[in-house]
Amino acid sequence: MQAADALRESIVTGSIPPGARITEIQLSDQLKLSRATIRTALHQLAAEGLIVLVPYTGWTVTSLSAHDAWELYTLRSSVERLAAELAATAENRKPILSAAYEALVAACRGNDADAIAEADFGLHKAIIDLTRHKRLARQYALIEQQIRMYIHSSDALIPEPDQILDQHRPIVEAILQGRVEEAGRLSELHNIQEGGKLTDFLRQGPVPQESVQ
């Protein structure tokens, strides 16, 4: 696994927690890679919004604030509404979307928090990919790693995996059945409701740890 990939996974899943300070020397020793390679990886993750370079401090993992969550869910709700509407017209939507949803079902049955969050993101990404809208996909790519981090935090607030399935099933069914307007509306509603819950939670305290065991 490349340096950027290894660091990205550790940050998104919370193995390296929000607010943690990371150094080139530390990572070079840990990953057995040159500092130049590590430096390149850090700049890539900074471009993805996962870390920031703090003056006189060094690299720090981005913390998800209430305002960050608000920005992400309001942006997602608009982008993913359009994506759901376009996906509902895609000729190849059934096999692709069904496979993504079944992956989420399997992850929920396995009751592993990280696997559930990744399958959750995978379902949303499948809807984006179904649009075959290059400009939309490029814009989504700019924030998708932040969205992965966001989903890990948001899903941690949901006590039962079946509730995650219940949230996504109506969206999937609407897309599969070609109900364009309903697909968009349900997708937007899902993002607004769950985003609002996470934003409210973050106003009260730190980012939650995964609760699904």
The residue behind tokens 């940050």 is: 11
Query: What was the pLDDT predicted at 14?
Result: 87
Query: What was the pLDDT predicted at 2?
Result: 84
Q: Specify the pTM.
A: 0.88
Report in angstroms the alpha-carbon separations of 158 from 81, 107, 161.
22, 14, 7
Specify whether the CB–CB gap between 144 and 201 falls below 8 A. Answer: no
Mean pLDDT in residue range 59-72: 92
Could you give the domains of the chain? 3-61 (1.10.10.10), 66-204 (1.20.120.530)
If you ran DSSP here, which 8-state letter would residue 30 be given? Answer: H
Reduce the DSSP state of residue 17 to 3 states and report it: coil
Kindly tell me if the per-residue pLDDT of 211 is higher than 50. Answer: no
How many C-alpha atoms does 88 have within 13 Å on its Cβ side? Answer: 23
Dihedral pair phi/psi, residue 180, rounded to 5°: -60, -55
> Who's near 64: CB < 8 A, 6+ residues apart?
18, 149, 150, 153, 202, 207
- Greatest mean pLDDT among 9-13, 51-55, 180-184: 180-184
pLDDT tens, residue by residue, 127-155: 999 999 999 999 999 999 999 999 999 99
Assign 213 a pLDDT band (cuts: 50, 70, 90): very low
Query: What was the pLDDT predicted at 3?
Result: 87
